[in-house]
Amino acid sequence: MGTILFTGGGSAGHVTVNLALIPRFVEKGWNVDYIGSVNGIEKQLIEAVPNVRYFPISTGKLRRYMDWNNVKDPFRVVKGLYQAYRIINKQKPNVIFSKGGFVSVPVVLGAWLNKVPVLIHESDLTPGLANRIAIPFATGVCTTFPETVDALPENKCRYIGPIVREDLIKGNAEKGRALCGFNRAKPVMLIMGGSLGAKRINEVVRKALPRLLETYQVVHLCGKNGHVSSMSSGHYKQFEYVTDELPHLLAMTDIVISRAGSNSIFEFLALHKPMLLIPLPKGQSRGDQILNAESFRRSGYCDVLYEENLEERTLVEHVQKLYENRQTYIDQMSVRKGSDSLTALCDWIDEIKRK
């Protein structure tokens, strides 16, 4: 069939769409390669996938703030560009798919230098810095939100919709309860701050835990180094990060507390899970999660609690309100018209390859 090369990393959100796509191309007989960072989470996730060759390159973070690493990182990016150029020149992919993140910039530039077409995926309502740099060198850009199309070059942009991993809908609630030691007596709340965790959310959740456990069983995805062993109990289960277990945990979940990263919230939407979203504040991000959360609130899919208002009392109040009104959110999510975005995206990649 051909060779496709994927890139994207820095957080799990920059890998999940790739994980949804890769099995489709393996099944169709494509050779699948992946360029990521040396030690990023993408290496851990992709190396667990069979029939994919992983190529690590040097990376440098693209920052909007003053930091001494800003002096060193341009040299790492240049080194990464040289490495990506050589890998692409040797592997000769027919097409490259980029999910974004800082590791993707040298790969897209290396593809452009090798005259290899690139399709970029933008999850958020507005493009991130890495994708804004890369888009001029790309063949096409696919978007998750329809509004994003208005902010991008018309001749290369196409609204595809959310890409949801097919394995997520195959979760088993009984397996989820067995993983956590939970029972059917109380509803289950899933708390997720992203693969890197959410320190403020973790702190407030643990303060509120005695009150939350009066009503709920709580499974807490607390992020790297976020586990606190002294907090463990029969109705509170902590994981730093999960992969194969996630479909089962979601299957048993009644309500979700989460950041507002696009990939995650569209997965909750597809599974009709009522959400309390706590977006990253502007001081810690470019504000994309705030836009994502407000878009979902306007559509009636979630409630939103801003981090500057996050404390034990407000968290408990919002959770109670969310659970009481859960059926209203489920009904609203149920009437949303879905589409086979995964197939549409695969078809566009095939279309680019044939040109």
DSSP string, 79-113: HHHHHHHHHHHHH--SEEEE--STTHHHHHHHHHH
How confident is the model at residue 74, as a pLDDT? 72
Q: Classify domain 3-161+339-354 at the CATH topology level.
A: Rossmann fold (3.40.50)
- Name the pTM for this structure: 0.86
Task: Evaluate whether 3-161+339-354 and 167-334 have a shared fold.
Answer: yes
Is the separation of the CB atoms in 110 and 27 below 8 Å?
no
Is the separation of the CB atoms in 245 and 262 below 8 Å?
no
Is the separation of the CB atoms in 284 and 193 below 8 Å?
no
Question: For 257, phi and psi rounded to 5 degrees?
Answer: -115, 125
Class of domain 167-334: alpha beta
Residue among 160, 158, 103 nearest 128 (CA): 103
Identify any residues that bridge with 98 across adjacent strands, giving them in sequence order.
Answer: 7, 120
Residue among 49, 62, 44, 45 nearest 103 (CA): 62
Please state, in angstroms and rounded to a whole number, the distance separating the CA atoms of residues 250 and 265: 12
Q: How open is the CA angle 44-178-165, to the nearest 5 degrees?
A: 45
Residue among 274, 201, 188, 175 nearest 236 (CA): 188
Mean pLDDT by 10 residues, the chain (355 residues): 92 88 94 94 92 92 53 76 96 96 94 97 88 94 90 87 89 96 96 75 94 96 81 87 92 96 92 96 81 94 96 97 97 85 92 83
Which residue type sits at 302?
C
Structural domain boundaries in the chain = 3-161+339-354, 167-334
How confident is the model at residue 65, as a pLDDT? 47
Residue among 6, 102, 19, 18 nearest 58 (CA): 102
